[in-house]
Structure 1
Amino acid sequence: MNETVPAAPVSAESMAKQGCEKLGLDAFDALVRRARTCRRFDESMRVPREFLLELAELAHLAPCGANAQRLRFHVVSGAEDCARVFDELAWAGALKDWPGPAEGERPTGYIAILAERAVPGKPAAPITDVDTGIAAQTMMLAARSATPEVAACMFKAFTPHAIDAMGLDNDKYELKLIMAFGVPAETQVIDAIDSNPDGSINYWRDEARVHHVPKRPLADVLL
């Protein structure tokens, strides 16, 4: 009598891949996987102001809570203006004890995401981190879909003078996030969660200066 051999269990990653192929999501899957944060750019190839304005337009069209549309965007593209913004950014959180990219590898454009401060006596829908995150991710994905690709780095940490460096009114606007853009000068890869030689889940770079981004497998985050 022949015994039925149970089928080998299918991993969550394999099932997700099957769904990706079945639904025609291959291109978007590839886009999300390469839309990693970049921290070193080719400063000789400047991002055109027109491109940054288009990214702001796409972020403005993205969904937001109650369709309140309270986010505001400020584009920085000139070399001198970019240098002023760069000086106000906190790079140390990206890689431990790293002061940031050297000259020649710095961003060549910025988009600040801001919110108008509430006016006394005038009710306004709140600005949530969800709205800010959706706008930022929309710009990051759009930038990576361009030809040639443009990469981004998101900053939640900056000095109190960052808004002044942009020539904006701190009494009227609250700076929520700064997006830095440029043509990438490094390779970023998604890696296993335990890939970092120091055993942490922090970003790390190898001898070839490849930027590794440890990610948990799908099975670890499914409940």
Structure 2
Amino acid sequence: MLKDLVLKNRSYRGFDESVRISRETLEGFVDCARLCPSSVNKQPLKYFLAWEPEEVEKVQGLTKWARALPDMVLPHPGKRPTGFVVICQDKGIDENLSRYQKDVGIVAQTMLLAAVEQGFGGCMIGNFQAGEVMEVLGLPEEIRPLLIVAFGKPAEEIHLVDVPEDGNTNYYRDENDVHYVPKRTLADELLN
């Protein structure tokens, strides 16, 4: 069951905009995330939710997608996510922004697995300017954005393929806009 969820959990960059994500759905994802372990159990992460179209548009405008495809603008028009969770750190709890990077990855993956379980999908986005996000969203100075996670109903085809012999792991799209993600084999990953 978990492996099935992991296989369905891709970095989607195309969504069905007619399927809206509600605040309650995003809160459910965050509720799963808040149960995750936290370094020294400090629990410094806070979450900004965007589900209303105006807020979603604001967050979308702050992000840059698919760095490995510099000539392509993603998501395509009409294929944008319908919700976002901005994962932030409350510097009033702890100012060390690097200490909790593992926590951020754990909670983001947990939210994405919760989304896949409900028929949604998403994408972790680290390509944004934290200061700009703080300003546009009106976040207080002590709340620092660390990662943005997009959510929506997936509307694209993604295939896992073996890494080619040249070792290139960059994802790519074919002429039909099908998304391919190279993955190493288990034998390539094991050290013994």
C-alpha separation in 2, matches of 1:179 and 1:71: 14
- Residues 88, 162 of structure 1: 8 Å contact kept: yes
Alignment partner, residue 215 of structure 1 = 183
Give the CA deviation at 1:92: 4.5
Q: TM-score, normalised on structure 2?
A: 0.91
* Deviation sequence 1:125-183 (CA, Å, 0-9, x none): 9742110000000001110011xx111111111133122222212x2111110000010
User: Following TM superposition, by how much is the alpha carbon of 1:29 offset from its aligned partner in structure 2, in angstroms?
Assistant: 1.2
Alignment partners' CA distance in 1, 2:167 and 2:185: 16
Which residues in structure 2 correspond to 1:33-112 (within 5 Å)?
33-112=7-86
CA shift at 1:207, angstroms? 2.9
Equivalent in 206, 209, 221 of residue 174 of structure 2? 206
> 1:193/1:50 Cα in 2 relative to 1: closer, same or farther (>3 Å)?
same
- Contact kept, 8 Å, 2:89 with 2:97, in 1: the verdict is no
User: Looking at CA atoms only, which structure, 1 or 2, has the larger radius of gyration?
Assistant: 1
1:118, CA displacement in angstroms? 4.5
Amino acid at match of 1:172: E
> Does the 8 Å CA contact 2:123/2:150 hold for their aligned counterparts?
yes
SS in 2 for 1:161: helix
- 1:98–1:67: structure 2 CA closer, same or farther, 3 Å change rule? same
Question: Which residue of the partner structure matches residue 163 of structure 1?
Answer: 134
How far apart are residue 206 of structure 1 and its match? 1.9
Structure 2 Cα separation of the partners of residues 217 and 151 of structure 1: 24
CA RMSD of aligned residues (A): 2.2
Amino acid at match of 2:171: Y
**Whole-angstrom CA distance in 1 between matches of 2:69 and 2:58:** 22
TM-score (norm 1): 0.79
The equivalent of 1:14 in structure 2 is none
Segments of 5+ residues of structure 1 without an aligned counterpart are 1-26
Q: How many residues align?
A: 190
Q: Any gaps of 5 or more consecutive residues in structure 2?
A: none
Instruction: Report the counterpart of residue 109 of structure 2 in structure 1.
Output: 137
Sort the Cα spacing of 1:126 and 1:86 in 2 relative to 1 into closer, same or farther, 3 A.
closer
Q: CA shift at 1:99, angstroms?
A: 2.2
- Quote the sequence identity (%): 38
Cα separation, partners in 2 of 1:125 and 1:192, compared to 1, 3 Å: closer
| SS of the residue 2:122 aligns to | strand
C-alpha separation in 2, matches of 1:216 and 1:28: 20
